[in-house]
Chains A and B, each alone.
Chain A
């Protein structure tokens, strides 16, 4: 009985989600058809789909450029951010230098730094990856530091009582404990990384969805802009859920996830 009710609830939930999405696009479609705003202001959803289907490979190629830069920037932010967090937690010196520097840097809107990176690294992928990395880094470091520090003091005592070294305490206690925090930082960071890649493409680029948007804007091809935006939304969502999926694999024991896999 309980299983059936749970299943019905699950289906009801999906139905509602799709209902809202379809309703939104239907309203948009019929609204545009009824009021005829100029096409350069607001195209219909069907026009957007038609535009995409006209040359899907071209759009997907540009998407891959942007998603690639996002993933690369995110990966660098994850590795370097996690290492920096360990350093900050373990060294007073790094905490007072590196962490302070990061906090200061973070208060500068990083998009304002984008032109600098174009000057330094050119208009290719490297500058997009760098901006993406920089904008995602802080979210990773802050949450990883929080996770490494938010350890039950009793557990730290337990490790001390068992004769555990600092390294063992890091590896067997602080790191697993920090994983859920790290993942919540990663979920923010993956979205920010995409913002960084687009910002870089806006400043100067030859390809990518940001480039597509700028080009189309220049020639008032609003439908193209919308295709790029829809694709960005889709890939942004996919990236977010990819991180969430990784989280469920990596820490199935966490309160927020327990039982999800078994339901």
Chain B
């Protein structure tokens, strides 16, 4: 394995619109170590999702270079799993068929995939729901299925674009814990996009704090809280200090004022 799982060099993305061109990303340089959990954190419009889409090969930067596992990204790299904010489960397929979709698309060994799917369903607490349809499940369960689907082929890189953004606070806590547990077992590189400061601090080894107009990296913060982290870690002074520090960065840029602080709770 190469020393960096994802390498970003001066990545820029400019959208040519009707009026002045819009600069979504400027001069983003970053190295992501294999097996690390990295969050891209910032307010909406800071280009964090655009950056993730560029790493995924779904979008292309207009400047700079992106390498995944040492190779340039021209199309979605094969060893990648992705989870969106919306679970994007296919209504006409059962839970198990949704999870097996990547194996069917890539025409990989379906028996191996079935065993792996059963393991994942077990790990994430969905055994017994294999033959249900997505519309019979709650939002949290649906997103669990989407995570299983992304992990089916044991990707070395897992990209998550605000995966828990649409869930209620309690389900979100639960899924944060489960994601951590899964990641501690599987050990892939995770790039996680969020706008929640506590969520980023709770999950990450490293937080890439981003700012907008243009979207850029303003600070990279290492979080060295011991793992596995219980939810109660959020009441610890170290955790609080990280949250306060990051909030300070955003306040410094005039992005969090007055009542808007509440958005991150």
User: B88 on the interface (CB 8 Å rule)?
Assistant: yes
Q: Tell me which of B75, B76, B106, B135 contacts A258 (CB under 8 A).
A: B135
Residue of A nearest to B106 (CB): A163
> Would B88 and A152 count as touching, CB distance under 8 A?
yes
With A154-B86, A157-B84 in contact, do A162 and B58 touch (Cβ < 8 Å)?
no
> Would A163 and B58 count as touching, CB distance under 8 A?
no
> Would B92 and A161 count as touching, CB distance under 8 A?
no
Q: Which chain B residues numbered 143 to 179 have a C-beta less than 8 Å away from chain A?
A: none
A161 vs B133: C-alpha distance in the bound complex, in angstroms?
A: 23
> Would A253 and B135 count as touching, CB distance under 8 A?
yes
> Would A155 and B90 count as touching, CB distance under 8 A?
yes
User: A173 on the interface (CB 8 Å rule)?
Assistant: yes
A163 vs B78: C-alpha distance in the bound complex, in angstroms?
A: 7
Q: How large is the interface on B (under 10, 10 to 19, 20 to 34, 35 or more residues)?
A: 20 to 34
> Would B91 and A254 count as touching, CB distance under 8 A?
yes
With A163-B78, A253-B133 in contact, do A158 and B88 touch (Cβ < 8 Å)?
yes
Q: How large is the interface on A (under 10, 10 to 19, 20 to 34, 35 or more residues)?
A: 20 to 34
Q: Which residues of B contact A253 (CB under 8 A)?
A: 91-92, 133, 135
Q: Which residues of B contact A173 (CB under 8 A)?
A: 90
Q: Which chain B residues numbered 95 to 138 have a C-beta less than 8 Å away from chain A?
A: 101-102, 104-106, 133, 135
User: B6 on the interface (CB 8 Å rule)?
Assistant: no
> Would A176 and B92 count as touching, CB distance under 8 A?
yes
User: B56 on the interface (CB 8 Å rule)?
Assistant: yes
> Would A154 and B84 count as touching, CB distance under 8 A?
yes
The SS class assigned to the A binding surface is: helix
A155 vs B90: C-alpha distance in the bound complex, in angstroms?
A: 8
A168 vs B91: C-alpha distance in the bound complex, in angstroms?
A: 17
Shortest Cβ gap from B69 to chain A (Å):
15
With A161-B56, A253-B91 in contact, do A168 and B105 touch (Cβ < 8 Å)?
yes
Q: Which residues of A contact B90 (CB under 8 A)?
A: 155, 172-173, 176
> Would A162 and B84 count as touching, CB distance under 8 A?
no
Q: Which residues of A contact B76 (CB under 8 A)?
A: 160-163
User: A164 on the interface (CB 8 Å rule)?
Assistant: yes
> Would A160 and B133 count as touching, CB distance under 8 A?
no
Q: Digit string of B78-94 for contact with A (CB within 8 Å is 1, else 0)?
A: 10111010101011100
User: A181 on the interface (CB 8 Å rule)?
Assistant: no
Q: Which residues of A contact B104 (CB under 8 A)?
A: 172
> Would B106 and A155 count as touching, CB distance under 8 A?
no
Contact residues of B with A, CB < 8 Å? 53, 56-58, 75-76, 78, 80-82, 84, 86, 88, 90-92, 101-102, 104-106, 133, 135
